[in-house]
Amino acid sequence: MKVIIPAAGEGTRLRPHTITKPKPILPIAGSTIIDFIMTEISSIQDLEEVIFIVGYLKDKMIEYLTDKYKNIKLRFVEQKEYKGLAHAISLTKEYIKYDDKIFIILGDTIFKLNLSNIVSKNENSLGVCEVDNPSRFGIAILNEQGIITKLVEKPQEPIGNLALTGMYNIVNTKELFEAIDYIIKNDIKTKNEYQLTDALEYMIKNSIIFKTFKLDGWYDCGEKATMIETNKSIIKHDILSKGIKDTAIIPPVFIDKDVKIENSVIGPYVHIGKNSKIENSIIKNCIIFEEVNISNAFMDNSIISEKVTYKGKTTSMDIGASITIEQN
């Protein structure tokens, strides 16, 4: 089993935070997005290799992953031009044998799932989740036997609510790469990109059977509001710092090592990165990166990047890295 993780994008909807960090290594709920993914992947018993497709801020991605996952074979493939997900997967072709099983998962998808059970089955299957707003997603249409008959990318008219979650278990590997080659050679694009759903749709039309598996939990990290909601959904109470004084803690919160907090109210649903300092403040529903200094502030539903100094009052903010703000 080989796992492919496309992670080359710029994460523009999460700027300014992705100006200094690639989206997969943004902190959330006491960890990072990619660490949640890697924890699930490590449960695969016959895992041979994890192939990352990198691009934007690739050196930071490579450094982070190679430092942290020394016991897993990692490979990095660069996507220099962003031509869509199918194009990204095509770049891994030389490292995949046609008899390999592969599992593809997007690098910003936090999920809960018995992954070992899914990959142990000798069948093509796509991860799905029921959604209320199908026009935002690729949608799978099933027949009465639970076999996918059609895939539609972001339908404008309601045709179903089983959204594709960016997880693809593939046993017909040869046919997948043939389908990708076909849509690229014939310049078949959706929204001006070579979409993986178009390649899968080509396989389905050529009688390759795909089933679905439902996720136990699926958490979006694509933009500020959904990232804060995901933090609320998955955060577990964990305080690693001993530098907390005269402060009320409302669980659940994650407070990393070497954080100093004084005369404040923290929580609920707050992540605070290491070496940060907070004084005389009320903070809830926030993700605060490392080495942040905050004083005399009220913060709610905010994401604060690393090395920010903030003095003043606010309610909800997005502050990029290495910025100093003082309000009187």
pLDDT of residue 138: 85
Could you tell me if 248 and 198 lie in one domain? Answer: no
The stretch 240-246 carries a mean pLDDT of 95
- Convert the pLDDT of each residue in 286-312 to its tens digit: 999 999 999 999 999 999 999 999 988
- Reported confidence tier of residue 206, pLDDT bands at 50, 70, 90: very high
CB 269 within 8 A of CB 9: no
- Residue pair 154/138 in contact (Cβ under 8 Å)? The answer is yes
CATH number at 82 reads: 3.90.550.10
Q: How far apart are CA 73 and CA 75, in angstroms?
A: 7
Give Cα separations from 77 to 59, 74, 170, 216 (angstroms): 12, 10, 20, 30
Give yes or no: residues 244 and 216 share one domain. Answer: no
**In which domain, by residue range, is 288 found?**
235-326
User: Do 178 and 155 share a structural domain?
Assistant: yes
Q: In this structure, are residues 89 and 196 in contact, taking their beta carbons and an 8 Å threshold?
A: yes
205 shares its domain with 298 = no
The confidence band for 136, taking pLDDT boundaries of 50, 70 and 90, is confident
Amino acid at 228: I
Counted domains in the chain: 2
Which residues contact residue 77 at a Cβ distance below 8 angstroms, ignoring those fewer than 6 apart? 51, 52, 53, 54, 91, 92, 95
Contact criterion met (CB below 8 Å) for 79 and 88: yes
For residue 66, pLDDT over 80 is answered with: yes
Q: Report pLDDT for 316.
A: 58
Record the pTM.
0.91
